[in-house]
Each structure stands twice: as C-alpha cells, then as structure tokens.
A and B are shown apart, each in its own frame.
Chain A
Amino acid sequence: MNAVRFGRYALNGAAGLSLGFILLPLIFVTWLAFFRQEIPSFPPEGYSLQWFTAAANNKPFIDGFVLSLEVAVVSTLIGLALGVPASLALVRHRIPLGPGVSTLLLLPLVMPGIVLGTATYVFQIEVEIATQIPVMGSLGGLIAAHTLVVIPWVVRLVTASLAGFDRSIEEAAQNLGAGPFTTFWRVTLPSIRPGLVAAALFGFVTSFGNLEMSLFLVGPGRTTLPIAILQYLEWKIDPTVAAASLIQIVLIGAAMIVTDRYVKLSRVV
C-alpha cells in the first residue's frame, strides 16, 4: 500500500518538475516584459507597460510580424494542398517504396534546422544559377522552404486521421449518387477535419517560429519576426524583446484554445 502511494507521489513529483521546467522560461519572459528598468536585473525596480509600446512601435518587429504571418499562412495552405493528397496515397494505395516515401516526408521534422537551412540555401543558389530566376532571398524561396517544414505535420496528422477512417462511408456516398470529387469534398474531408485543423495549426506555428532555416534564406529588407528579434538582441537587451515574445505566446495560446473548442487537439496529436 505504502509503496503504491510512494510511487504515485514520485510520479506526480516528476510530472510537476517537468512542467515547471517547461513553464519557467515562459514565466520569466512574462515577468521581465513588465520590468521598468532597461537592463534586466533582480529585483525589479518597478513595473511598466512601456516595452509593449516600444515593441508595437518597432518597425523591424512590425514588418517581421507581417512577413512571418504571410509566409506561415501561405506555406500552411500549400503544405495542406500537397500533404493531404500525399497522405491519401500513402494510406490508401500500395505505392512503391511506401514506407520510404513516408519517412522522407517526415524527415524535415527531425532534421536539424541548420542542416535544412544550409541544404535549402545551396539548392536555391544552384537553381538560380541554372535557371537565371532570382530564387535566393525571394519571398517565393522563403515560402517554398517553409512549406517543407509544414508538410511533415500535415502528413503525420492526416495519415493518423485516415488510418481510423471507415471507408464504407465513402462507398455509402457513392452509392447515393456522389461522384469521386463530391465524395471527397462532402464526406472524406469533413470526416478528417480534426486532423486537418491540427495540422494547419501546428504547421502554422512551426513556420511562424522558424529561425534557423530562415536565417539562410531571407533577403535584404525581408526579415521574419524571429530574425528581427535576434537582430535586436545583438545590440540591446531591454525588455522589448520579452514584450514581443509575450505577445506571440498569447496569440499562439489563444489560437490553440479557440481551435481546441472545435476539435479536441489531444485526440489527434
């Protein structure tokens, strides 16, 4: 009996410790964003909201935010358009080298960002040399690269949704007079909606927060928010960065809570 109780305490303790470890930086960033003094030091001299104003008036941050948003939205949409058919093919058809293709599509998720960035950088230069089309540092090049990190999320979450999918409802639709396209649009897609929504959310967040790969690919005057923050940190360490980070955390958290109301994320991830 005592051993069981001890085990439970130990387990709860370990879980609490891990949670604390994850939350600690968030708590400090949040706290720091409200410090009054410019050089972070403890204890704080007082509290203020000035750094939020500073972040909101920082042109590189605003431009970066807009660019990151654009890139994340477009690459998420392209990632879905490519990842959903790929998942369908992988789950539904015996394609040659199926497991290999599946691993390949998930690879960008486990590949170190620096490696991915270097590889994409070299590739884009080669493409530019070969075709004379300005790919390097272009918006298109950045979006293409970000699509690469969105695809694994789509493939992973959509194949999971499709694996538990009862094919007979598609047959029922066809039996009732629906052609293949109508069946896909009216029956298949709505049935895997939780997976799609989760894929879109995680793909978006991954793209929005991507730093390592983007570092190689941004061009002059075209900087994403994480890079803008990094560049700011090279010169200053005032809490503006903490305020900008907190705004991001709040936005992403809100997106997750809203999404969770419609599809239970814990069920698909």
Chain B
Amino acid sequence: MARLSISHLKKTYGDLSVVDDVDIAVEDGEFLVLLGPSGCGKTTTLRMIAGFVPPSGGRITIGESDVTHLPPWKRHCGLVFQSYALFPHMTVAQNVAFGLEMHKVPAAERGPRVAEAMRLVQLGGFDERYPRQLSGGQQQRVALARALAMQPQVLLLDEPLSNLDAKLRLEVRVEIRELQRNLGLTTIMVTHDQEEALTMADRLVVMEKGKVRQIGTQRELYEKPADRFVAGFIGRSAFLDGQVTAPGRFRTAGGREIACADAKTAGPGTLALRPERIAVGGEAQGLPNRFETQVVHASYLGAQLDVQVALDEQERMLLQIPNRPGLTEPRPGDTMTIGWAADAGLVYPLGA
C-alpha cells in the first residue's frame, strides 16, 4: 500500500472544465471519499487516477512514482466498477485469477491467492459459477476480490454500493470498511450518497463543479463547513440572507438583528444555522437571539420532529425538536418561540 497524491489536476473538454485544479493527498491506509452532486467531477478524478482519462494538467503520484502518463495496465490500482464489470465468459475463479495471470504470477501460486481473496470477501464455494449465476451482492464481492487479489497499491471504488438494495448496502458498507482497515488499504471511494460517505470515510473531499470545496473529517465538515455549498450539502442548514453590520452583528433581509460571533467583516452575506442548535420554547430563555415565529409545517419522524417556521414573511427556518414523552406536536399557525446562542451560526460573505 502507498500514499497517493494528486496535485493541480485538471481536465477540460474544449471550453468545459470538468476537473479544475484539484489537490488531494491520501495517506497510506486511509479511506478517502470523494463526495459531490452528479457532474461535480468526482468520477472523472477517479478515472484519471485509474488511467482511463488522460489529465489536461497536473500530476498523480502513487507511492514514489509519477503515474500521470502511465497507461491503466501499469498502474497497480484495483478498481471496483459501479457495474462490477465481471468478465461474463469466465468463471468466478477465472475472473479473480485474471489480474494474477496478467501480472505473471506463477500458476501454482494463483490458486491459493484466489482462495485467499475469496475468503476475504466471504464468498466460498462459488469458484466454478459464472457471473450471471450470482446475485448482485455476490457479483459485487467477486469484483472486490478480483481487485484485491492482485494486491494493488491503491484501491479505487466507483459507487460500489449503488446497485445493491438498501438493506444489503448497510451490511456491505461495514464489511468493506472492516476489510479496508484490516488490510491497511489506501482507498478512494466515489459516491453521491452522503450517508454512505459519512459512515465509511476517514476523511471526505466535497467537490462541486470540478473544484474541491473542502477536505476534512466528518466533524470538520459538519461543524466548520468552508462555504455555503458545503453547509447546505453536508447535513442540513437554515440559511438567512442579510448583511454583517458590525463585528458580532448580523441583520437579516427582513430587518432582524442577530448576535453572531462569526460575523466579522461588514458586508452582505448568509448566516447558516444547524437545525439542532436552535432551541425552542422555554429552552430559548436567556439566549441572545430570541424570536417569535409561526409554525408553517411539522413532520413527525419518530426520533425527532422536523418543523418549518416562518421568521417573517420571506424567511423560513428548519428546526429539529427531539421527541420525548408528553411532547405536544406543533400545528401550522401555532406561535413558537425559538432562540440560539451567539456562537451557533456561521456567516458566509456573499460570493464565497
């Protein structure tokens, strides 16, 4: 296993910039997830690492060697495809042995290594089956075993769970993560599924429109989103447009004055608040920012209630109220007092 580093990576098609100046360093044995909406450049980045897309600029280094201009078959990075891409005319064992054969592993060694890979993915007794005779989950394991058998320097996963049903996906997530940790595999996974990314990653890279918006742990991304996009993309946020009038002071477009520690330089901006930081009713007592609001909509979600309230005519906010015995469900039209601390919100200047 090895470090992988990407510097100033670019991909353009004519005038269209798909990947724009991406810098990522993956530590030895780290599980990094590229996350972003579709079309953000995450898959193109992965395909450049695998060698299927020639970069328009920048460098890719695996371990000590610069692989930027190497063809795919010389890169030693195991890729698990979204469609699994198993060879339909080969048995499971032949599929898994293919990489070994290509890397000139002596025939006598291949058998034990195939068996070892199959043991890792917990799929025994299927060696002589053909891919079409396997379920989606089994095919996924074969694809993983095939990539692992050749002991790649880096493991690449392209939306590996998106073709599995919901229940299986939860199980496989944990299995892949355990396997990755035990083998110490340097891994990059691409996904658009936020929950999948949060549960599996050591660190995450949030991408949008070809650019890296933020790299960090789950906690860093949630508690200190670098910009408004990340604040909206990772978890949920209530956004209030307005401007910073003085250090520590924010005025909403509707004219409400809000105390906010993060308000520093004067100018137009957006205040982002996490729903769970907003206190309700009696708990809002004594908080610097306290407002009377109208309930617009309330949804009962079991462990919590999601409540939409109107701060004034234009501004709506989302609250999450934890469920507990005796809680009275708010109804549309009810008046509700809400409040939050001065350190609860983050301000993003306009354009950031």
Contacts and interface: CB of A to CB of B under 8 A. Distances in A.
A169 interface: yes
Interface in B40-77: 50-52, 71-77
Chain A, interface size category, equals 10 to 19
B87 A171 contact: no
Contacts of B345: none
A171 B78 CA distance: 11
A187 B150 CA distance: 18
Given A182-B102, A190-B89, A191-B89, A177 B81 contact: no
Mostly helix, strand, loop or mixed at chain A's interface?
helix
A169 B88 contact: yes
A11 to B, nearest CB: 34
B87 A169 contact: yes
Contact of B83 (A166, A176, A190, A193): A166
Contacts of A190: 87, 89
A168 B81 contact: yes
Contact of A172 (B51, B71, B77, B79): B79
B86 A169 contact: yes
Given A173-B98, A193-B89, A178 B73 contact: yes
Select the residue from B73, B76, B79, B147 with max chain A CB neighbours within 10 A. B73
B88 A172 contact: no
Contacts of B85: 166, 168-169, 171-172
Given A175-B77, A179-B73, A168 B83 contact: yes
Select the residue from B72, B81, B98, B146 with max chain A CB neighbours within 10 A. B72
A193 B79 CA distance: 26
Contacts of B150: 176-177
A178 B72 CA distance: 9
A173 B87 contact: yes
A174 interface: yes
Contacts of B88: 169, 191
Mostly helix, strand, loop or mixed at chain B's interface?
loop
A186 B101 CA distance: 12
Interface string A181-216: 010001100110100000000000000000000000
A176 B71 contact: no
B36 interface: no
A182 B72 CA distance: 13
Interface in A3-58: none
B102 A176 contact: yes
A172 B87 contact: yes
Nearest to A179: B73
Contact of A171 (B72, B74, B86, B102): B72
B99 interface: yes
A191 B86 CA distance: 11
A174 B85 CA distance: 12
B256 interface: no
Contact of B72 (A166, A169, A175, A187): A175
A187 B95 CA distance: 11
B331 interface: no
Nearest to A189: B89
A174 B71 contact: yes
Nearest to B156: A175
A173 B75 CA distance: 12
A167 to B, nearest CB: 9
Contacts of B76: 177
B8 interface: no
B103 interface: yes
8 contacts: A166-B85, A168-B81, A169-B85, A171-B72, A171-B79, A172-B81, A177-B73, A193-B89
Given A173-B98, A174-B52, A176-B73, 7 more contacts: A171-B85, A174-B71, A175-B78, A176-B78, A177-B102, A177-B103, A178-B73
